[in-house]
Structure 1
Amino acid sequence: MKKSIFLLLLIGLILNLSAEMLWQEPIPIRQGVNIEWFRTGTQTADGCAIYVWSDTKLGERDLWAQKVDAQGNAVWGDPLLIDGKPDRQEDPMITMTSDNNFVIAWIDFSDDLDGNVYAQKINTQGQLLWQTGGVPVCTYPNVQISLNMESDNEGGVYIIWVDSRNPGKDLYGQHLNSSGVPLWQINGIPIANDIGDEEQNTMLPDGQGGLMIAYTYSFGGAEDIYAKRFLSDGTMAWQQPTILSNVNGNQGKVRMATLTNGEFVFVWEDQRNEDPDIYAQKIDLNGTILWRDPFIVFGDSGTENFASQLNPRIVATSDNSVIIVWEDKRLDNFSTDLFIQKISASGELLWDPDGVPLCVAEFAQNEARLAPDSDGGCYIVWDDLRNGDTPNDDIYGQHLSATGTVLWEANGKPICNAPNQQNSALVKISNNLVFINWMDMRNGSVGIYYQVYNSAGVAQLTENGQLMFWGLSGDAPLNNYLILPRSQDVVIIWQDTRFANIGYQIFFQFLNPDGTIDLEPNGIPVTLSTGADQSSPAAAVLSDDSIILAWVDARDENPKIYLQHLDANGNRLWGDYGIPLTESTPVEQKDPRVSYKADQNQVYIGWSNYDTFAGTLRFYVYGQMIQNEQKQWGPDGIMISYYPEQDFIYHECTLNDLKENYFSWQDANLTEYTQSIFTKKVEATGETAQGWPESGLQVSTYPINNWDCKQRFPVSTLTDEGIFVMWKDARGDDIENYYGQHISPNGERLWDPLGVNLADYGREQLNVSIADNPLFRNEIVFAWTENIAGMGDIIAQKYSLSSIPQWGDFGYYVVQKDSMQTAPYLARFNNGGMVIAWTDYYNTVTEESNINYKYINSNGSMVCNDPGGYVLCDAKKNQYNPMIAVINNESYAVWADGRSSGKTEILGLYAQKLSNETTAINDPVIPSISKFTLLQNSPNPFNPSTNIQFIVNDITNPYTLNIYNLKGQLVKTLVKGNLEKGTHNIVWDGTDSNGNNVSSGIYMYSLSNGKSNQIKRMVLMK
C-alpha cells in the first residue's frame, strides 16, 4: 500500500512538470553558505586537528569537515563532504576512536521532519569508511536532538541523544561497533526515561569498555542530577542511579572529568541557596560517593555580597587532579568574569579557596573551554568583550601551570581581536601543539579561523588566525527584491543581510538568457559599505540599459533616501556611496519609487517624507525628476500631496505607486479617521498637470466622512487613455474588495466617479498584480488572491478601457484548490499571452510552499494540463513570492527560496526561464513547431530500463541527451553529436557512466542543442 501511494505521488510529480522550463535547474542568484559552527573538533595523532561544520553552499544544509596542520594548511584540500542528503544535516559531534579514526554523528532531517540520528566514520586521510549518507543510529518517529558521543575501546562509539518518543524528554543511546553496526536495540535503548524530563547530560568512557553518564532530571519542578554507568552490552552496571544532588532548587549544567583508578569528578551549577554556586562530587565505578557531601567548589550564598557563579567547565589534569573554571559576578553584577580552581583527587582545594581570578577585564568574559597540558596545568580559551562589548567579541586565552601561575599575560592573551565578532572558541592539544579555533565575522559573514601555539606560547600562524573556511551568511529578506527587464537580459536587485553586523546592503546581478551571470556570484553592492542598513530598493531601467536605484539608508541621523546610477555594465556612476536624494534631512524618508518616461528620457522619483508642516509632524508625498543626470525640481524635490496650510494637520499621505509622472498615494484623514486614494499627474516642470487638483485627484468620490471609507494600497498601470488605478476598498460591509478607476491625462474620472467594484464575491481580496506591457495598453488585465474561508485561490480578470469586464462578471479562476494559493504575479508577453506564477501551499504532507505557474491566452483560456498549475520550484522548505520579467516572448521568474532553512528561515533568491506556450493574440493557431521536442519516457516509473523518445526538426546544431540526479549531478550522457531529422528512441538501462546501477529515485533527463534545453523527470523504482 505504501509503495502504491509513493508511486502515485511520484507520477503526480512527473505530470506536474510538463511545461518547458528552459534551464536544467533554477539559477542561484543569491545563495549563501551560512556556516553553522558547533564547536565541533578534535585533535589527531599526527599533530593536526579536524573541524566539522554545516553549511548551505550546495543549497540545502550539508555536513563538512576539514583537517588542518600547524603550518596553516588544509590537509584535505577542499573540505570533505560528510553527508549531503536532501534537506538538512546539522548539530554534528566528532570523537577520535580507539583505532585512530573518527566518528561524526549528527541530526538528520532527510527522511524525518523531526530529525533522526546518523553517523559516519572517516580516517585521517579524509575517506568515508561507512556507507554514503551515514548509518542510521535512530530513525524512530518524533524528535531526536542534543547529541553526545564518546569512543569505546574497540573502534566504536557510544551516542546519546534527547528523545521525545515518550511523553516528556528522555535520554536514549546506541553503541556502534567499528563498522557502524548497532550493538544495542535498533533505534537505541533508554538511558534515562522516568516520568518527567531528562535532558542535559555529560558522558565519558568508563575505562572498562562501557560509559559513565550524568544527567539532569525534572518532574514538574526543579532539576536534580543523577549518574549511571552502562556496560558495553547496554546493561546498567548498578541497580539504581546514583544521586549526585537532589536538594531544593535547580542543579544543572553538569560536567564531568575522568581521574585514574576508575574515578570520576562531576561539577555543576547549584541553586539550593539564594543564588547559583559551584558544587562538585566524585564517584567510583560502583557509583559510590567519595567526597564529602555537599562539596562546594565556591559559593558565596549567605554572605553580605553574594553573587552568581555560573556555567562551570572541568578538565582532568596530567597529575590526576581536576581544574574547574566558571563565570562569576562577584565583581560586577552585570558582566561575568572568569574564576578557576584546582582540586586534588582527594577533594582538596589546591589554589586560593575563593578561586583564582582568571580574567577580570572590563565587560563580560564567558563560554570558557579547557584542555590539559602535560605538566598538571591547562589551557583555557573564552569569549571576551573587553574591547567595547557586543558586537566586539574577541577570543582570549591563558595557560596556567600546575600551581595556578599565569604563564601568558595577565587577564589573557588575545588569540583574535580582529574587527567585529569572534566567538565560540575551542581548544585541542595535538602533539604538544595548542590548536584554537573559533567562529569569526570579521568580514561580515561567518568564517572559521584557527591559530596554533607551541608549548612556549608562540603563535605559529598569522596574527588573528588563519582562515580555514568562509562563506556568505545572511539572506535576501522577503519582499525586498526586484527583477527588471533590460534589452538583452534582466537585472535582479535585492536587500542583502550578508553583513548583518556591519549593515544590510542593496546588491544586484545581471542574468543572461543562457542562465549565466555577468557579475561575481551572489551579486555586487550598489555602494560600498556605509556601516548602516539599506532597505526598500526601487529601480528603473533606462533606454541605454543603465539603472537608477533608490533606497532607504540609515547612515545619517535619520532614515534618508539615497540614489545610485549604474551603467549598463554595473559600474557606479554616482560615486561609491551613492548620493542623497535631498540636501535636507527630514525626520524620515521612506517608500521610494522610481519610474522612467522613455520618450522624454526622464526619471521620476517619489517618496514619503516625514517632517514638520504647519507646525506638526506628518508624512507627505514628495517627488523629484532627473534628466541628463541632473535634479530638475530643486535640491529637495517638490511636495506632491499639497494641501493649503490650514489643512496640513488633517492629512497624512504615504506614496504607494508611481508610473512615469503619475503619483498614487494613500491619504489618511485624521479628522474622520478614514482613508482614501489620490492620484496626481505632474509636468516635467514640476507643476501640477492641467486639469488636476493641486492636492491630487480623489480617485473615488465615495464620501470621506463615511465610517467605511477605508481605501488602501493603490496600484496602477498606464493605458492608451491615461492611467488605471485600483485599490482595496472596505465600503459597505467592511470586507476589502478591489475597486478601480480610469483617469484621463487631464484628470477626468472616466469610470463611475465612485469607482468600479472589479469583482465582488463578497470576500476579502488581496495581493493584486497588474500585467503591464506597453504593447497592450488598450486593455487592463490583473490577478489577485480571493480569500475563501481562510484559503486563497487565484483569479484573473480583463477589463476594457470603458469599464466592461471581458472575462465574465467575476473573472476566471487561475487555480482553485482546497488550500492556500497566494502572491500571484502576472506578466504579459509581446504576443499578448500571459504567464502567472504564485506561492502554492498544496503540499499537505510538509505544509511547505512551492512556486507554481500557468499560461493564460489573451482570451482568458488557461494553457496548462494540470488544474493546479505547473511546478516552477518544489525544492525543500518554502519558496515564496515570485516576480516575473518579460523580454519579448520569454519570461524570467525570480523568487525567495528557503531551501537553506533550518533552525531559522534563510531565504536565497533563485531564478528560472520559462518558455511561452500561449497563442499569439492575432493568430488562432499554435506557434510554429519547435526545433526539437522531448517526450515523456516510457515506462515511467520503470525498472530496470526505460525508453526516452524525442523528435528532431532542426539538424543545424549537435544534440546532447544527459541524465541527472536531483542534486544536478551528471549521471550519464546517452547522446552527444549530430542527429538526423525525425523521431529518435534511446534506452537508458539505469546505470551511470561507469556502468554501475544507480539507486531508486527521481532522475531528470535533458535534451539540448546548445541553444535551449528541454527537461523532464522520470522515476526509477526497484
Structure 2
Amino acid sequence: MKTILLILALICANLTAYSQWSTDPTQENLIRQGNEVIREFTIHTDNNGGTFLVWEDWRTFGPNIYAQRITTDGLPKWDEKEGHIVRAMQGNDELIATIDEIGSISDGNGNAIIAWSDTRDGSHVYVQKINGTGQTQWQYRGINICTDCHGGRVKIVSDGNGGAIIAWSGVKEDFNQPSEVYIKRINSSGVGVWQNDVIKVTHNAEYGNDFLNMVSDGNGGAIITWKQNSVSPYGPGPMLAQRIDHNGNVLWNADGVSMGIIIADIDQPKSVTDGNGGIITVWYDVRNSSGNLYAQRINADGQPQWTLGGLPVCTATEDQINPRIISDTQGGAIIAWEDARNGPSNHDIYTQRINASGLAQWTADGIPVCAQPSSQYGPQITPDGEGGAVLTWSDARSADAFNDDRDVYAQRLNGAGALLWENNGAPVAIGERSQGPVAITTDDNGGFVVVWLSDASIFASRLNKDGSLPVTLVSFEARKENDNAVLTWTTTQETNNKGFEIERSGDGKHFEKIGFVDPHSYGSDTIRNYQYLDTNPLAGSNYYRLKQLDHDGKFAYSKIVNVNFGKASRMSVYPNPTMGDLFIETARAGGRIQITDMLGRVVFEKRMVKPRTYIDIKDLSPGMYILREGASSQVFVKQ
C-alpha cells in the first residue's frame, strides 16, 4: 500500500476518509448546524462502527439534551442534522432550569444510556435510554433515579449487563447538609437492582466532597474517587476511593481509601482502571508552588500501591493542567496534559507513560506531542488498540494579533512513546472558523472519530489508524456532455489497486453504486487516465465520488464532484428495487410523503423538510408499494 497524496486537497497523510468522511481538513464534516448555544457534549462508540454524540442544546429558550448517531459513513443517522431530543423542557422549565453535567455510555446492545442532573424541580439526577434508531426507551423527559436526592456532578459507567451504574455528588432530603457521594445501579429497563437502591458512599466531610470520578471495575461494579473537603470548601483535602461490587456491596474501608495526605490544593483528577480490578488516578497538585501532576494506584483490595500522596508524573517548571488518562493495557497508564513549561502564553501538549509501579517509561517529565508556537489546548486521548494512544487538541498555531482562531490536530503514539504521525500533529480541521473544544473515541472499526464545536455547530472527522490509502489520485472531475455526465480522473502509483466503484447521489449525502472501472494495469507507477460515462443522470444535481478498492480489502473515497442537469422532475425515487434505504427527490419542500401497500393501507408517512430526503424502510415487508407526494406517485419494490 502506498501512502495517499491527494495532491489537489493537501491533506495530511494520516487521515483517511471512509464514505462521507471528508479527506480534506479544510472541509469539515457537519453533524449539527446551529445558531444557538451548544455547551457540554460527549461521544462514545455505538459498538457497531458508528458513534453516539450527546450534547446540551439551547435552540429553544432553555437547555435541552439532544443526541445523534454518526454512521460508519460519517452521516448523521437521525433527522438529518437536527438530532433526537433526549430530555425536553416544558413551560417555565425552559426559563429557569439548568443542566449541570451529562454522561453517556453504550449499553453493549446498540443503545446509549444517558445520565444528567437538571434543576427543573430542585436538582435531580435523570437517566434515559435511546436506541439505534433514535427513539427514547424510557419515560418522557427521563427517569428520576432518586426522588429525595438533589444532585450535581454526575458520572456513569456500564454494568456490563445492559444496564448502568450512576454516581453523583449532592444531598439527600436536607439541603443544609454538606455534599455527599451517592451511587445507584439500574438494569436495562432503568429500574434499580440493588437492595438498598441508592447507596451513600461518603461520610463525615465537613465541607462536602468534590471532583467526582468513576470507572468500571471490570466485574460489573465500579470504583469511585473524590476529593474530601475536610479543611474548607475549596482548600486542601485527601483524595479518596471506594469500590462497589455488582451487588451493591461496599468492598473497601467504610470511609474510603486515602491516596495519602495531600496538604496542597489539588484539582482536575482523572481516573482509569488498572485492568486488574484497581484504579490509577492523576491530578493537578500545587505542593511545589507551581501546579504539577501526581498519580496514585489502588489495587483491587483497596491498598495504595505507590508513595502516599502520589508519585510525580511531571514536575517541570510552570503549570501542567488538564490531564487526561487511559490504560496502557499492561497495568499502567498513558497520561496527556497541557503544559506551560515554555511560557504561560505558549501551552504545549505533553504525554507520559507510567508502569504498574508508577515509574515513568518515557523521557522524564514527558515527551512533547506538539510544541508549536502559540498555545495548544484541551488534549483528549483514546487508546489506539495496540498499546499506544491517539491524542487530539485545539491548536492556536495559526492565530495572530487580530484573531484567536484555533484548529484541530491529532497525533498517535505507540507504546514506546514514538510519534507515528506528522511532527506536531496531523491536521484534522483547519477551516476558517475557530475550532474547539474537542472529543475523541474509537469507532471499533480500526479508526477514531474526533468531534468538535465551531460557531455553535458540531463537526466530526474520522482518523485511520495508519493513514495510508491505496492510490495517489491526482485529479477527479465531472462535466456535462449533452444528456450524459462524463467523469474523468488521473492516478499514479496504483500499487494493489483492484479498481474503482462509481457512486452517485442526488443530495450529496446518500450514495449508491452505479458502475465499476477496472484498473489499467496492476502495480502501475505511471500516470493513468480514466473515464466513466453516466448515460442516465438524475434530473437536477448529480454528485459523484470514486470508491477505490484494494486487493487486500481496504478502500478509500475521493472528493465529491457535481454536475447539474436542470430542475428536478416532479418526483424521483431510487434505488428501485430497494433493500431498505429509499432516497426521494421532489420539486419542493414541505410536502408530505405517504407509502401505501397494494391494498391501499398506509404503512409510512413523513413530512418533506427538504426537497431531497432519505427514509429507512427496512421494516417493511417485501413487496410492491406506492409512494405519493401531492399529485405525484411512483411504484417501487421492497426486496
297, 300, 303: which is aligned to 1:748? 303
Judged with a 3 Å threshold, the aligned counterparts in structure 2 of structure 1 residues 671 and 797 are, in CA distance, closer, same or farther, namely closer
Aligned to 1:695: 255
The aligned runs of 1:413-492 (5 Å cut-off) are: 474-477=36-39, 479-492=40-53
Question: For 2:494, which of 937, 951, 966 is the aligned residue?
Answer: 951
CA gap of 1:574–1:889, structure 2 versus 1, over 3 A, is closer
Structure-1 residue corresponding to 2:77: 518
Alignment-mate amino acid for residue 510 of structure 1: R
Q: Measure how far apart 1:853 and its partner are.
A: 1.0
CA contact (8 A) 2:212 2:227 kept: yes
Q: Is 1:679 aligned with 2:241?
A: yes
Per-residue displacement from partner, 1:842-873 (whole Å, max 9, x unpaired)?
A: 113443000011221222111223x2321101
Change (3 A) 1:601 1:516: closer
SS at match of 1:842: coil
Task: Give the letter aligned to residue 111 of structure 2.
Answer: S
Map Cα deviations across residues 202-221 of structure 1 (whole Å, 9 max, x no partner): xxxxxxxxxxxxxxxxxxxx
Identity percentage over the alignment? 19
- Cα offset, 1:559, TM superposition: 2.1
Aligned to 1:623: 183
Amino acid of the structure 1 residue aligned with 2:331: N
Q: Deviations over 1:28-77 (max 9, x none)?
A: 22112x4xxxxxxxxxxxxxxxxxxxxxxxxxxxxxxxxxxxxxxxxxxx
1:862 to 2:422 alignment: no
1:991 maps to which residue?
none
Larger RCO (alpha carbons 8 Å, 6+ apart): 2
Going from structure 1 to structure 2, the CA distance change for 1:935 and 1:792 (only over 3 Å counts) comes to farther
Structure 2 residue aligned with 1:847, among 389, 392, 404? 404
Q: Read off the aligned partner of 2:270 and give its amino acid letter.
A: V
Match of 2:533 in 1: none
CA drift of 1:757 comes to 0.6
Counterpart residue number, 2:145: 581
Q: Are residues 1:822 and 2:377 paired?
A: yes
Q: Is the 8 A contact 1:739 1:758 kept in 2?
A: yes
The structure-2 alpha-carbon separation of the partners of 1:664 and 1:760, relative to structure 1 and needing over 3 Å to count, comes to: same
Larger radius of gyration: 1
SS in structure 2 opposite 1:958? strand
How far off its partner does 1:659 sit? 0.5
CA contact (8 A) 2:330 2:355 kept: no
SS at match of 2:10: helix
Match of 1:593 in 2: 155
Distance 1:777 1:520 in 2: 42
Measured in 2, the distance between the counterparts of 1:29 and 1:849 equals 19
Q: CA deviation at 1:719?
A: 1.3
Please point out which of 454, 458, 478 is paired with 1:909.
458
Measure how far apart 1:1013 and its partner are.
2.7
2:282 touches 2:296 (CA, 8 Å); kept in 1?
yes
Q: Which residue of 1 aligns with 2:367?
A: 812
1:567 aligns with 2:105: no
Choose from 537, 555, 560 the match for 2:102: 537
Root mean square deviation, CA, Å: 3.6
**C-alpha distance in 2, partners of 1:1014/1:15?**
13
Aligned match of 1:547: 112
Aligned CA distance change for structure 1 residues 628 and 855 (closer, same or farther; 3 Å): closer
Report what 1:607 is aligned to: 168
Give the aligned residue type for 2:126: Y
**Aligned equivalent of 1:20, options 11, 16, 21:** 16
Structure 1 CA distance for aligned equivalents of residues 313 and 443 of structure 2: 29
Contact persistence 2:497–2:523 (CA under 8 A): no
Q: 1:987 and 1:602, CA in 2 relative to 1: closer, same or farther beyond 3 A? A: closer
Shift of 1:936: 6.3
Preserved contact between residue 699 and residue 749 of structure 1 (Cα < 8 Å): yes
Alpha-carbon distance between aligned partners in 2 of 1:889 and 1:563, rounded to the nearest angstrom: 28
> For 1:375-386, what aligned pairs fall within 5 Å after superposition?
none
Q: What residue is the counterpart of 2:587 in the other structure?
A: none
Distance 1:961 1:682 in 2: 52
CA distance 1:797–1:936, change in 2 (3 Å) = farther
C-alpha distance in structure 2 between counterparts of 1:604 and 1:676, whole Å:
24
- Letter of the structure 2 residue corresponding to residue 767 of structure 1: N
Normalising to structure 1: TM-score of the pair? 0.45
Q: CA distance change for structure 1 residues 544 and 566 in 2, over 3 Å: closer, same or farther?
A: same
Q: Report if the CA contact (8 A) 2:46-2:112 is conserved.
A: no
Task: List aligned pairs for 1:161-200, cutoff 5 A.
Answer: none
Indicate whether 1:933 and 2:471 are aligned: yes
Is contact 2:156–2:164 with CA below 8 Å preserved after alignment? yes
Partner of 1:832: 387
Shift of 1:1006: 6.9
Question: Does the CA contact (< 8 Å) of 1:719 and 1:779 recur in 2?
Answer: yes
| CA offsets 1:587-630 (integer angstroms, 9 cap, x no match) | xx1111110132x55521001113566x9432111111123532
**Structure 1 Cα separation of the partners of residues 9 and 549 of structure 2:** 26
Match of 1:148 in 2: none
Which amino acid counterpart does residue 573 of structure 1 have in structure 2? Answer: Q
Question: Counterpart in 2 of 1:664?
Answer: 225
1:508 alignment partner in structure 2? 67
Rounded to whole Å, the distance in 2 between the matches of 1:15 and 1:570 is: 33
- CA pair 1007-632 structure 1, distance change in 2 beyond 3 A: closer
Q: Against the structure 1 CA distance between its residues 889 and 487, is the aligned structure 2 distance closer, same or farther, given a 3 Å change threshold? A: closer
Q: 1:666 to 1:1015 in 2, by over 3 A?
A: farther
Shift of 1:485: 4.1
Distance 1:892 1:976 in 2: 29
Unmatched segments (≥5 aa) in structure 2: 1-6, 217-221, 477-487, 510-514, 531-543, 561-639
Residue 977 in structure 1 maps to residue 510 in structure 2: no
| Distance in 2, Cα, partners of 1:961 & 1:573 | 36
| Residues 157 and 166, structure 2, Cα contact 8 Å, conserved in 1 | yes
For 1:634 and 1:712, the matched residues in 2 are separated by 34
Are the counterparts in 1 of residues 88 and 141 from structure 2 also a CA contact under 8 Å?
Answer: yes
Is the contact made by 1:612 and 1:618 (CA closer than 8 Å) also made in structure 2? Answer: no
Question: Which letter does structure 2 place at the counterpart of 1:553?
Answer: D
**Which residue number corresponds to residue 627 of structure 2?**
none
Aligned match of 2:597: none
Return the match for 2:268 from 694, 706, 713.
713
CA distance in 2 between counterparts of 1:794 and 1:601 reads 37
**1:885 aligns to what?**
441
